[in-house]
Amino acid sequence: MALRASVPDEVDVVIVGAGITGASCFWHLASAGRGLRVACFEMHHKLHGSTARSAAAFRHQFAAEVHIHMSLASGRFYRSFPERFGGEPVLRENGYAFVYTGAEAFAQACARAERQRALGVPELEVWTGAAAVRERLPMVEHPALAGATFCRHDGFLLPDVITHTLFEHGLRVGGCLRQWAPVREIVRAGGRVWGVRVACEDGEREVRAPVVINAAGPWANAVSQLAGVQIPLTPVKRYLYFTTQIPGRQVRHFPLLVFDLEPYCRPEADALMCGWDRRPPKPPGWDRFPPPAVEAQALDSDSIEPGYGLGIEEYGYEVLAALAEYMPWLAEQAGLEHATAGYYEVTPDDKAIIDWDPRLPGLLHATGFSGHGVMHAPATGMMVRALVLDEPPPFDPAALALAPLLENRPRPDPETVII
């Protein structure tokens, strides 16, 4: 009986998934002051998905205006974290440098920097020519540097601390979080969402909720299918590699460094975390609706597939070698110590879907972040709260809309800075 009582029969909003997106929606809705009854169901434990596997970088330096606005709002939220919730800062503002060797790519970056400044990105710097880059980034030793852009208010986040804290504070204001409780069906009635059927320790239960939020990350298309619809979202495996400790280089003070929009690294204590969006390639059809069929059960975030391990012939050393073209001392001073993996939840234009589903009233998607869901989680919570409470949206809804993607039409405000 006690177990049955632990799952409510009826709430105002159900959130599916307890990663950082679910946590942010949970807190933003539960603390909205409207007395909303909010329940979040998670099929494993919180942080089982991509959130804890992320590079957790934070940047304002985007091409799409909607992303710049989302970063500005999220940055303010993350900087206010200690004051709002107590504890340590969750954003380490080491900065983020985009370094270019090609003149044309650098010119495009300069144009983007103008737009970013015009939209209010603070202290954005443009360093033109090799000498200017070397002066600020002495660790970079490439012979042909065209320039770099740098924002000191970019950096990296603590996604696990953020997720735990937002759930904790959402619970304090009456929210309900159930882990090991997979949603098995999004129940429809009268042409709209009725609620969910969820499995818990004492069997399956139906929970009435007029609003269901799909915050299931790489599983979000599978969760959509629990309601009988699909969304254009494909899980794509991504790997991170961690170097051995690098003494004497002060790497813990490095900014996040991205070279020619390809390989990147950032400090992880006295080592470097390295990544590259090159492999494995996105599967055929990832950029069309409907997306390629993926068996949800087959998603295995933990496995390191053959070719992606730490062997000298494997992808990790390819990433390290690519970084060593810009920082040749790496070849001498760093090996690889371990690898982690997770899935990007990718949409056809690498922008999130934060929108009601036009085919099923009551179903709201908050997913498809394509590599920036950690940094934009606060903005996502703000947008979701506005949609649920029918308030003016804080970000351009057209740029995040679902309907055009269902018809394979482009959305406004494209993103080109995809890492």
Ligand X SMILES: Cc1cc2nc3c(=O)[nH]c(=O)nc-3n(C[C@H](O)[C@H](O)[C@H](O)COP(=O)(O)OP(=O)(O)OC[C@H]3O[C@@H](n4cnc5c(N)ncnc54)[C@H](O)[C@@H]3O)c2cc1C
Residues binding ligand X (CB under 6 A) = 16-22, 41-44, 48-51, 53-57, 182-183, 215-219, 223, 238, 240, 342-344, 367, 369, 371-375
Cβ pair 301, 341 in contact under 8 A: yes
Residue 17 or 75: the one with the smaller Cβ distance to ligand X is 17
355-394: b or e for each residue (b if 16 or more CB lie within 10 Å)? bbbebbebbbbbbbbbbbbbbbbbbbbbbbbbbbeeeebe
* Contact call for residues 224 and 391 (beta carbons, < 8 A): no
The tokens 């996604």 sit on which residue?
A: 159
Q: Quote the least distance from Cβ 21 to ligand X, whole Å.
A: 3
Give the residue from 196, 211, 200 showing the smallest Cα distance to 12: 211
Residues in the chain: 419
Q: Give the nearer residue to ligand X in terms of CB position, either 147 or 342.
A: 342
Beta strands across the sheet bearing 155-157: 57-58, 155-157, 91-92
Report the residue number, 112 or 365, with the smaller CB distance to ligand X: 365
Which lies closer to ligand X via its Cβ, residue 51 or residue 101?
51
Q: Are 57 and 240 in contact (CB under 8 A)?
A: no
Q: How far is the CB of 304 from ligand X (least distance, A)?
A: 12
Query: Is the Cβ–Cβ distance between 108 and 126 less than 8 Å?
Result: no
| Residue 216: CB minimum distance to ligand X, A | 4
Mind giving me the DSSP string for 303-342? ---TTSSSSTTSHHHHHHHHHHTT-THHHHH--EEEEEEE
Closest approach of ligand X to the CB of residue 193, in Å: 15
Question: Measured from the CB atom, is 233 or 334 closer to ligand X?
Answer: 233
Least CB distance from residue 103 to ligand X, whole Å? 27
CB of residue 50 to ligand X, shortest distance in Å: 4
Q: Which is nearer to ligand X, 54 or 116 (CB)?
A: 54
Sign of CA dihedral 80, 81, 82, 85: positive
